[in-house]
A and B are shown apart, each in its own frame.
Chain A
Amino acid sequence: MRTLTKLDSDSSRARRELHDHIQGSGPLARHTVDSNGKRQAGSASYHESAEKHVTGKAAYIDDLSLPAGTLHVALGLSPVAHGNLTKLDLSKVKAAPGVVDVITFHEVPGHTDIGPVFPGDPIFVDQEISYAGQCLFAVAATSLLAARRAVKLAIISIDEQPASLDPVAATEREEFVRPTHVQTRGDWQQALDQAEQIVEGELFVGGQEHFYLEGQACVVHPTEDEGVVVHTSNQHPSETQKLVAEVLDIPFHAVTVEVRRMGGGFGGKETQASPWTCIAAIIARRTGKSISLRLPRSEDMRATGKRHPFHNRYRLAIDAEGIIQGGEITVIGDCGYSPDLSDAIVDRAMFHADNAYSLGDAQVVGHRAKTHTASNTAFRGFGGPQGMMIIEAAMDDIARQIGEDPLTVRKRNFYRDGREVTHYGQQVDQRQLLHTLVETLESDSDYWARRKAVSDFNATSPVIKKGLALTPVKFGISFTAQHLNQAGALLHVYTDGSVMINHGGTEMGQGLHTKICQVVARELGLDLEKVRITATRTDKVPNTSPTAASSGADLNGMAARDAASKLRERLFDFAAEHYSEGLDREGMRLEGGMLVAGFGESERRIPWGELVQTAYLNRISLSEKGFYATPLIHYDRSVGQGRPFYYYAFGAAVAEVSVDTLSGEYQVDRVDILHDVGDSLNPAIDIGQVEGGFIQGMGWLTSEELKWNDKGVLVSDGPATYKIPTFGDLPPIFNVALMEGHPNSMASLYRSKAVGEPPFMLGICVWSALRDALSSLTDYAISPHLDTPATPERVMLAANAIRKKVL
C-alpha cells in the first residue's frame, strides 16, 4: 500500500544502518578516480544506449520482431464521460475482416479490478462508465488497422448522465476518491487571529499530459504452461506481473515481465502501463497467440491519466517584513474517477506546500476530489509541483503587499535556524546549503543589476514588459510509502571477467542503467565496458518498487553496490586464502582491472580475469545479490507528523521574460540554474535531467493546456492541439550548473542526490517572471492573478484586466 505508515521499529536493517550509515561519512562520487586516472561513478559517461539511439538500433516495444500469427489489439473506448452502459452489441465487430477475438468485462478470468493500490479501476466497464476514454472492449485481429476498423462497428448504447468535472464543486459535495488528510503544527488559528497583516489568494494549477514519445505499448507471448511473458514499456514491472497474474488467476511465478527501455515515462507508465498488458495477456491466453497492443496517440491521451490539476487556496499571517507567522493552505487535487496513486500524490502536494519556506504555525489540508475524467496519476514531481505553486504565488503576493522585491521576501522566509521544522514535523537539514545556493545564483546571475535594468526598460516600454524571478526548490526524497523504499540487484561475473548487473529499476531515458554500471565498475575497479545491463526482468530481481520518486539510482544503485561489495569481499577472502605467497587481506583493493594487495614493495597485483577464473576453478560463487532499504524514514499519518524524507534536494532558477501585453505572447530571454545533486554520479546525465526537467516544468506552466469539452471529452488529444515545448522554446541564454562542494549530508549513494524530479519545479520561475512582468503594468502595486498554464490567452486576458488602453 502506498499509504503512509509508521517506522517499522522491527526493521533490523534500518537499525543496523542507523549505527554507521545514516549520517554521511561514506565515499564521494567525485573520489572515484582510479590509479589510471579513469573514472567510473562520478564521470560524465555517455548514455549506455547512446549509439543505439542515434543509429535507430535501440529497440522499443513496437520494434520487436513478432512471431508468425501475432494478433494486434485495438480498444473500444467510451465516448461519454458518465453513464450506464445499456447495450454493447459486438456482433459486427466479431464478423469484421481479420478479427480473431473480442473480449469484454465478462471474458476476464480472474480479478476484474486492477486498481494499483486501492480498488476502483475496472479492467473493462461492466455497467457504470466513469470517464470518456474508459475501456469497454478489446478486439484482436490480424493487423492493427483491421482491429481499429472493427472497433468502429460496435453498437454502443449508453444512458448518459451529467459528468462531474469541477473538483471544487466535488469537494463541496464531499465526493472524494480518498479521505481528506490534514497536517497541523502549532496554533495556526491564533496566528491568523493575531496577524499584523493577512495575505490570501487562490490559484488553479493545470494538469499535464506526459507525452512520452513512445506511447503505451506491450507485446505478450503465451508460455508453454499457464503463463505469459510480457514485454512492456513500463516503470513498474513487478506491479504489472501481479496484476496480469491476478486477472488471469494464475500464480505470480507464471508471469515474467521484461522492460529493456522506455521511450519516455515521466510517471505515465508507473500504474498506467498495466491495463494494456492485462488485456493483451487475457487474449494471449485465450488465443494461444502472441499479442501486440499499442495505443495510438489520441487513444493514449484519452485513456490514460495525467498530472493532477489542482485548485489551491492560502490564507497566511505575515509580519511587517513579510515573514509568514502561520495560516492555512488548502489543496484540492482533481483525481479523476478512481484513487490510483492520488492519496500519495495529494500528500506530496501537502508536503511541498511550504517549498523552501517555514510556514510557522500552519495547517495544510489536502482533498482528493473525484471527477469524471481519466484517473490522474504520477507525473514527475508527483503532486509536489502543484503544492509548491501555491506558496510561490503567496511569495509574490506578499512582496506586492509590502512593497518589497519578491526575492527579498523569499529569502526572509527560508528555513533557517530557529525556523527549521516543517508543518509535518521534519527538521530541514542542510539549511545553509539552501542559503548558499540561492546567494550564489543571485550573484552569478547578476540578479540585482538585472532587476534594475528590467525596471528601467519597463518604465519606457509601454507594450513590451520584462519580468524577472528567482524561485527555489526544496524537494523531499523518498517514497512516502515506506515499504517502497527498498531495492534489489543481481550481479553475475562470468569466467571471462565480463560482468552483468540487473536491478529492479527501469530505464526510461534518465540514464539509470548508465549510473548503475558506473557504480558496479567502481566497486569492482573495472572499466565501464566490462559491465553490462540487459533488461529489467521480474525473474531476475523480484518484488521491485516502481522506478519513480527520483529514487532509481538512490535505491538500485545502493543495491548494486551492496551486491558488488559483497562479491568483492568474497573474492578478497578467497585470494587471501588461496594464493600461496600469502596476500595481505587488509588493504586489499580492486582497481584498474586488478586485484591489488599490499603496498609499496610488497604490493602484489592479480589481473581481474585471472582472479575470476581461479575463483571459478576453486568453486567460489561469482554471483551475488544485493539489497537496500532506506533507513530512518517514518510518518505517522494519524497525526500528520514524521520524517517522510531521507533528505531534501535543493535548487534555484532565475528567469527573465519579455511579455507582449497586447497579444499575451511572451518569450523567455534568459534562464540561470544552480542545482544541488550532492556529489554527482554523472554530471552529464545530471545536467541533462536538470535541463530537461526545467523545460518540462516550463511547458507545464506555459503552453501545455489540457482541454475538455463541457461533456468531459478531452479535446486536446494529440500534439496538434497539446503543445509541449519545442526547439524554439529553449531560452537563448541558458546557464545551468550543478552546485559543487556540498555532498549529501546523509549516507546516500556516494553522497549523491536524486535528480529526476526536483529540477522540474525550477520551471516555476518562468511563471513567476510572467507575473512580475504583468505586475509592472501597475507599477508593482498589484499581484496579478494568473492561473496555469499561462498561455498567451491567459496572459493577454490578465494584462487586459489591468493595463491602460491606448484606444
Chain B
Amino acid sequence: MATIAFLLNGASQRCDVSPDTSILTLLREHLAQTGTKEGCASGDCGACTVAIGESTAGTQRFTSANACITPAHQLQGRHLVTVEGLSEKGSLHPAQKAMIESHGSQCGFCTPGIVMSLFTLHSDLTQRPSPLSPERLEAALGGNLCRCTGYRPIRDAALRMNDTPYERPQWFDAALPASESDTQTVDSAGTVPFFAQPVSLEELTQLRQEAPQARLVAGGTDLWLEITQRLAPLDQLIDVSRVAELLTVEKAIHADQTGWWIGAGVTYTQLEPLFEKHFPAFAHLLHRLGSQQIRNRGTLGGNIANASPIGDTPPVLLALGAQVVLASVNGDRCLALEDFFLDYKKTALAADEVVSRIFIPQPTEGSQLRVWKLSKRREDDISALLGAFSYRIVQGSLRDVRIAFGGMAATPKRARAAEAALERCTISAAASAEAFRAAQEALDHDFQPMSDVRGSQHYRQQAAKNLIERLYLSLSAPDHEVMLHAYAH
C-alpha cells in the first residue's frame, strides 16, 4: 500500500492503493464512482475510458486511457477526469449534449467511455484547432466499441459538439499535487509488495539489480492483462514511465549512421510527429496499432521487450535496421534488434537489464519503406501477419533489401532468403518477375507459420506471398492502385 495524491475532477484526492490496483478498481471499488464501466477488463472495448490530465505550460492537456489496465499509481501528480466530472455543476459538456441530441446512446453502457473520448477530442480541438478529418475522428473513437448504434449518431455527435459554445471551466486547470510519490522500500526477497517510480536511469538500473524479480511497467497495456485476465499476483512493480532518459527522442550519429535515439518509454502517440515526417509508412501503421487509449500509454520499448511475435513495431524496426540498448548498473550494451529476439517471448535481456533506448537510422537517398498489416478488422486489431519491406532503388535495381514479418514465426523475424532473392534484382517487369517469384518461394524456407485464432497457417503463407506480389506490382506498375484507400492512407 502506498498513498497517491492526484486530482479527481478538479478536487484533491489522497488514496491508499496496492501495486496492482487499476484506475478502474480505484474508481468503482474504492471511491464508489460507478459512471466508468467495465466492458472487457482488457483494454479492448473502451467502456472504461477516462481522461488523464498533465500540465503543459500552465494548462492541462488531457489524453484518453483505458482505466481497466492503467495502474492507479500512475495518477500521482496528475488529473483524473471521469464522466461524473463533466456535468458536475449541472450543465452538460458539449460532448454530452451532442450525444443526447444525436440519439447517440441506446443501451448506454458504452456511452460514458464514448463521452470521455469525445471530451479528449473536444479539449484537444480547443487547444490545437484543426479540421476534424475522418482520420482524426477514427483515431479518437476507434477504441470505443458500441454494439447498439452502428456509430452513425456518434459520428454526428462528434461533428456537432463544437457548435456548442463552451468555456473551459477553471477546475480543468486546478493545481496538480507534486508528482513524486512516497518512496517505498524495495524488497529484494520478493515478498513485500512495492511500486517504485524511479525518475532516472541510474535509479532504475539500481532498482532492477536489487529486485530482478519485480516486473517493469510503462503503459501497462500488456502487463495489466496478467492481473485482469490471469489473476496473477503482480505486487512488485517498477514503473519506468517517469525515467527521464527513457522519455527523450534525439537525433544523433551512431556507428557512422545518422538517426534517432528513441527512449524506450516514449509512447506511440509521442512518436507520431517524427514518424509522420520521416517514416510515413510507419506512422500509418501506428494509426492501426491498438486504439488512441492504447497509443497514449503503450511504448516502443514495451512493444520490443514484450517480444510478442505479433507486436506491430518490431518487424518494421527490423526492416529499418534498428538497434536496441540494454542498460544495467554495469553500463550499456547495444544489439542489432534481430539479435534481441531469441525465441517465443525470449529475449537477450539479462535479469538486471532494461531496454533503455532504440536507434533508428535515418532513411538514406532513394530508400523506401512499405509496411503492410493484415488483420480481421482495420482498427484496433492485432496482426494476423505484418510485412515490412525496406529497400533502396539504385539505377533501377533493388539494394539493401530488408524484409521482416510478424505473425510468421515464434518471433518477429527477417525473411533472409526472400531478401536474398530480391537483392540487386532489376525493376523492369520481365526480369524481376522471376526474382519476385523466387522471393515468394523463399518465404517457405524463411517461415513455417502456425494456425491460431487470427489466421490459418495456409492463409499466413499465402498472404505473405501475396504481399510480395503486391510489392512487385507497386514497383512494376505504379499507376495501378494496389491498395484500398482506407488501408493506404
Q: Which residues of A are interface residues toward B (Cβ below 8 A)?
A: 44, 46-47, 49-60, 62-63, 65, 145, 148-149, 152, 210-215, 261-266, 296-298, 461-464, 508-511, 658, 660, 662-667, 684-685, 687-688, 691-696, 703, 705, 707, 715-716, 718-721, 723-730, 732, 734, 736, 791-793, 796-797, 800, 805-807
Q: Which residues of A contact B277 (CB under 8 A)?
A: none
Nearest first, the 3 closest Cβ-Cβ pairs linking A and B are A56-B35, A509-B107, A263-B109
30 examples of A-B residue contacts, CB within 8 angstroms? A47-B108, A53-B108, A53-B112, A54-B83, A59-B34, A62-B34, A65-B32, A149-B231, A261-B108, A263-B110, A509-B105, A509-B107, A509-B109, A658-B485, A662-B473, A662-B482, A666-B484, A688-B148, A688-B149, A695-B149, A705-B376, A718-B229, A723-B381, A725-B151, A728-B379, A729-B151, A791-B376, A792-B374, A796-B459, A806-B473
Which residue of A is nearest B39, CB measured? A213
Partner of B469, one of A296, A707, A806: A806
A46/B82 contact (C-beta < 8 A), A58-B108, A463-B480 known: no
Q: Which of chain B's residues 353-412 have a Cβ closer than 8 Å to chain A? A: 372, 374-382, 384
Q: How far is the CA of A726 from the CA of B145 in the complex (A)?
A: 6
Task: Assess A807 versus B149: contact at CB under 8 Å? Given A667-B484, A727-B379, A730-B155.
Answer: no
Residues of chain B in range 27-63 having any CB-CB distance to chain A below 8 Å:
28, 32, 34-42, 44-45, 47
B462 interface hit (Cβ, 8 Å): yes
Return the CB mask of B150-172 against A: 1 if under 8 Å, else 0: 11111100000000000000000
C-alpha spacing A651/B236, complex, angstroms: 58
Q: Which residues of B contact A63 (CB under 8 A)?
A: 34
Contacts of B374 in A (CB 8 A): 663-665, 792
Stretch at the interface among B84-92, B245-253, B327-335, B342-350: B84-92
| Complex Cα gap A806–B436 (Å) | 10
* Contact status B481-A463, CB under 8 Å: yes
Q: A691-B149, A696-B150, A805-B469 are in contact. Are A703 and B103 (CB under 8 A)?
A: no
Residues from chain B with a CB closer than 8 A to the CB of A729 are 151, 377-379
A423 and B448 CA atoms in complex are apart in Å by: 51
- When the two chains form their complex, are residues B481 and A53 in contact, meaning their CB atoms are under 8 A apart? no
- The interface residues of chain B lying within 8 Å CB-to-CB of A695 are 149-151
Residues of A within 8 A of B110 (CB): 213, 263
* Interface contact B106-A47, CB-CB below 8 Å: yes
Instruction: Tell me the complex Cα distance, A251–B103, Å.
Output: 42
Chain A: minimal CB distance from B451 (Å): 10
Query: Are A719 and B45 neighbours in the complex by a CB distance under 8 Å?
Result: yes
Return the chain B residue nearest A298 by Cβ: B229
Selected contact of B107 from candidates A214, A707, A730, CB within 8 Å: A214
Query: What residues of chain B lie closer than 8 Å to A298, measured between beta carbons?
Result: 229
Residue from the list A47, A510, A660, A705 in contact with B484, Cβ < 8 A: A660
**Could you tell me if A53 and B469 are in contact, using CB atoms closer than 8 angstroms?**
no
Among A51, A52, A60, A297, contact of B41 (Cβ-Cβ < 8 Å): A297
Contact with A297, one of B40, B87, B469 (Cβ below 8 angstroms): B40
Residues of B within 8 A of A148 (CB): 231
Q: Which of B146, B382, B462 contacts A796 (CB 8 A)?
A: B462
B402 CB, min distance to chain A CBs, angstroms:
21
The segment out of B136-144, B176-184, B212-220 that lies at the interface is B136-144
Main secondary structure of the interface of B (DSSP, over half): loop
Give the residues in chain A near B189, CB-CB below 8 Å.
none
Contact A261 B41 (CB under 8 A): no
- Residues on the B chain within 8 Å of A214, using CB: 37, 39, 107, 109
**Residue contact A727 to B151, C-beta cutoff 8 Å:** yes
Number of interface residues of B (CB under 8 A): 95
User: Shortest Cβ distance from B170 into chain A, in angstroms?
Assistant: 20
Q: Helix, strand, loop or mixed for chain A's interface? A: loop
CA of A60 to CA of B34, assembled, Å: 9
Task: Tell me if B431 is interfacial: C-beta within 8 Å of chain A.
Answer: no
Q: How far is the CA of A255 from the CA of B112 in the complex (A)?
A: 33
Are the CB atoms of B105 and A53 closer together than 8 Å? yes
The distance in angstroms between the C-alpha atoms of A214 and B39, with both chains bound, is 6
Contact across chains for A691 and B152 when beta carbons are under 8 A apart? yes
State whether the Cβ of B244 lies closer than 8 Å to any Cβ in chain A: no
Q: In the assembled complex, which residues on chain A have CB atoms less than 8 Å from the CB atom of B70? A: none
Give the complex CA separation of A224 and B83 in angstroms.
Answer: 38
Closest to B483 in A: A660
Whether B459 lies near A793 (C-beta < 8 A) is yes
Q: Provide the bound-state CA to CA distance between A793 and B464, in Å.
A: 12
Tell me, yes or no, whether B470 is within 8 Å of chain A by CB: yes
Instruction: Tell me the minimal C-beta distance from B303 to chain A in angstroms.
Output: 16
Contact with A along B458-489 (1 / 0, CB 8 A): 11001100111110110000001111111100
- Alpha-carbon gap, A509 to B467, bound state (A): 43
Once the chains are docked, how many angstroms separate the CA of A736 from the CA of B87? 32
**B255 located at the interface, meaning its Cβ lies under 8 Å from any Cβ of chain A in the complex:** no
Is B23 positioned at the interface, with any CB of A under 8 Å from its CB? no
The answer to whether B100 has its CB under 8 Å from any CB of chain A is yes
**In the complex, A690 Cα to B248 Cα: how many Å?**
49
Q: In the complex, which residues of chain A have a beta carbon less than 8 angstroms from the beta carbon of B381?
A: 723
| B339 CB–A CB distance under 8 Å | no
Alpha-carbon gap, A688 to B456, bound state (A): 36
- Given A718-B44, A728-B379, A662-B470 contact (CB < 8 Å): yes
Q: CB-CB < 8 A to B100: which residues of A? A: 46, 50-51, 54
Q: Is B99 an interface residue (CB 8 A)?
A: yes
B437/A807 in contact, CB under 8 A: yes
Asked if B106 and A730 sit within 8 Å, CB to CB, the answer is no
A657 closest partner in B (C-beta): B484
Residues of B within 8 A of A734 (CB): 152
Neighbouring B residues of A149 by C-beta, 8 Å: 231
Task: Beyond A721-B382, A728-B138, A792-B374, list 17 extra A-B contacts (CB 8 Å).
Answer: A50-B108, A54-B87, A54-B104, A55-B35, A56-B83, A213-B37, A214-B107, A265-B107, A297-B42, A665-B378, A691-B150, A696-B150, A719-B42, A720-B42, A720-B382, A723-B376, A793-B455
Residue of B nearest to A693 (CB): B150
* CB within 8 Å for A807 and B436 given contacts A715-B453, A718-B40, A796-B459: yes
Asked whether B111 is an interface residue with its Cβ less than 8 Å from the other chain, the reply is: yes
Is there an interface contact between A703 and B107, defined as CB atoms closer than 8 Å? no
